[in-house]
């Protein structure tokens, strides 16, 4: 199977697998225990914290390891809502991941304001300026890159504006890390990362918490993570996460232009194979790995099933929403109709995806399309129902 769903999760590279095994075998002791074997693990953990801080361009004690982006984003809004100035509310883009939208809506019920996005889902810095004046929020949260479309937000500009206004800026960078340099997040106050999106193990991630928010408490009940998050530290997974990120950061960004042109050649070919199809936000700055395709016909579940039979794993959108029947909130915010959103197929490559994988996928789209069309449009409904 050729895997084109790296935005949902990506397998462990050898280095991460080896790092996990070595730590599980040799550094499994509880870092908070009082003897020397534990002190060694504590030192290793702090070493990982320092290395991650270097990628982020922040202080080591600003890095809070946790169970992943969903925990990070939930903990951030829960924590903020406990502050005495929580009445100030929060400002979000409407294309954030559901774990930002739902956590914020729950903790700041009635105090969430949405930024405008254009037809490509991009936030306008001028709209941010205007809404900062109008609403005087406690925090602004805008993602680095969208998980469904790959569209990149002008987060550096947005962070700068927030800083000028003395308002915290949070960037959910779950889809950014390992695809583009982590150092670009340096100007953000809070930053969310998820290991399994860039080759680390599932169940691991981090939140950068600025020193100015040193009262941050995620899980309660222990002094781990410099008091920011209770719970036994998961050093094997942290070690594997760092090994994965180091591999991506060390070798991953030199050939970005080549990766983007591979993606572009796929898109050109796809539009020939699939007449009438559209690539979502095609003209905007996007991740080199993500293509969101609006085919001229047929629901996306049918496309996924048929491409699976052709040997390609692609997705209907975000994995967490695949179970639900409601159309993508991201595409809705961009002005797509529910009917269009139900057609959209997401393709997301990995660092090892080759030219021939992309080409093969474009050709598979073409084969599926021509076969489907040959059967007549009336059979499409039956195909979808029979999944």
Give the 3-state secondary structure of residue 355.
Answer: helix
Binding to a second copy, residues 325-384 (CB under 8 A): none
CA distance 279 to 38: 52
CA distance 63 to 50: 8
Answer for which of 304, 361, 364, 368 binds a second copy (CB under 8 A) is 304
When the beta carbons of 65 and 372 are compared against a second copy, the nearer one is 65
CA distance 27 to 41: 6
Q: Is residue 156 part of the contact set for a second copy (CB under 8 A)?
A: no
Identify the CA nearest to 105 among candidates 79, 86, 124, 77: 77
Answer for which of 18, 53, 94, 102 binds a second copy (CB under 8 A) is 102
Number of Cβ within 10 Å of residue 14's Cβ equals 10
Q: Which residues have a Cβ under 8 Å from the Cβ of 190 and sit 6 or more positions away?
A: 76, 139, 168, 169, 170, 171, 207, 208, 209, 210, 213
Please give the size of the binding site for a second copy, defined by CB under 8 A: 72
Only one of the segments 115-123, 132-140, 160-168, 217-225 lies at the binding site for a second copy (rule: CB under 8 A); that segment is 217-225
Answer for which of 111, 196, 248, 329 binds a second copy (CB under 8 A) is 196
Only one of the segments 26-34, 109-117, 287-295, 376-384 lies at the binding site for a second copy (rule: CB under 8 A); that segment is 26-34
Binding to a second copy, residues 2-21 (CB under 8 A): 5, 8-9, 11-12, 17, 20-21
State yes or no: is 320 an active-site residue: yes
Pairing of strands 112-114, 90-92: parallel
Choose the catalytic residue: 58, 162, 171, 320: 320
66: its two tokens: 């946790």
Only one of the segments 55-63, 138-146, 232-240, 330-338 lies at the binding site for a second copy (rule: CB under 8 A); that segment is 232-240
Number of Cβ within 10 Å of residue 219's Cβ equals 15
Q: Is residue 292 part of the contact set for a second copy (CB under 8 A)?
A: no
Answer for which of 44, 319, 359, 384 binds a second copy (CB under 8 A) is 319
Answer for which of 157, 212, 320, 338 binds a second copy (CB under 8 A) is 320
Q: How far is the CB of 190 from a second copy (least distance, A)?
A: 16
Burial of 15 (0-12, 13-18, 19+ CB in 10 A): middle
Give the 3-state secondary structure of residue 206.
Answer: strand
Q: How far is the CB of 88 from a second copy (least distance, A)?
A: 21
Residues tagged active-site: 320
């Amino acid at each position: 199977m050729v895997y084109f769903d790296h935005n949902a999760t990506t397998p462990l590279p050898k280095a991460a697998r080896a790092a996990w095994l070595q730590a599980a075998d040799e550094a499994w002791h509880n870092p908070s225990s009082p003897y020397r074997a534990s002190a060694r693990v504590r030192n290793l953990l702090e070493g990982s914290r320092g290395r991650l801080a270097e990628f982020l361009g922040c202080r080591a004690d600003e890095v809070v390891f946790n169970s992943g982006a969903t925990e990070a984003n939930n903990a951030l809004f829960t924590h903020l809502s406990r502050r005495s100035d929580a009445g100030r509310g929060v400002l979000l883009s409407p294309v954030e991941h559901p774990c930002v939208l739902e956590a914020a809506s729950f903790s700041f019920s009635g105090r969430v304001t949405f930024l405008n996005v254009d037809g490509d889902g991009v936030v306008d810095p001028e709209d941010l300026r205007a809404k900062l004046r109008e609403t005087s929020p406690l925090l602004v949260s805008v993602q680095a890159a969208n998980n469904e479309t790959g569209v990149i937000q002008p987060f550096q500009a947005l962070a700068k504006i927030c800083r000028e206004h003395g308002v915290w800026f949070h960037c959910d960078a779950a889809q950014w890390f390992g695809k583009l340099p982590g150092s670009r997040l340096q100007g953000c106050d809070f930053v969310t990362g998820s290991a399994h999106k860039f080759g680390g193990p599932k169940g691991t991630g981090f939140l950068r918490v600025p020193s100015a928010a040193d009262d941050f408490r995620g899980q309660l009940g222990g002094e781990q993570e410099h008091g920011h998050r209770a719970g036994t530290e998961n050093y094997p997974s942290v070690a594997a996460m760092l090994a994965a990120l180091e591999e991506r950061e060390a070798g991953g960004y030199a050939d970005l232009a080549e990766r983007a042109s591979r993606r572009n050649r796929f898109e050109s070919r796809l539009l020939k194979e699939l007449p009438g199809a559209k690539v979502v936000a095609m003209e905007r700055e996007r991740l080199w790995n993500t293509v969101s395709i609006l085919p001229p016909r047929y629901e996306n579940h049918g496309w996924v099933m048929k491409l699976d039979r052709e040997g390609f794993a692609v997705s209907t959108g975000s994995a967490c929403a695949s179970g639900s029947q409601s159309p993508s909130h991201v595409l809705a915010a961009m002005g797509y109709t529910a009917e269009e959103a139900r057609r959209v197929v997401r393709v997301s490559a990995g660092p090892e995806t080759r030219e021939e994988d992309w080409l093969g996928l474009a050709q598979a789209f073409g084969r599926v399309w021509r076969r489907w069309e040959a059967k007549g449009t009336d059979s499409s409904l039956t195909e979808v129902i029979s999944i």
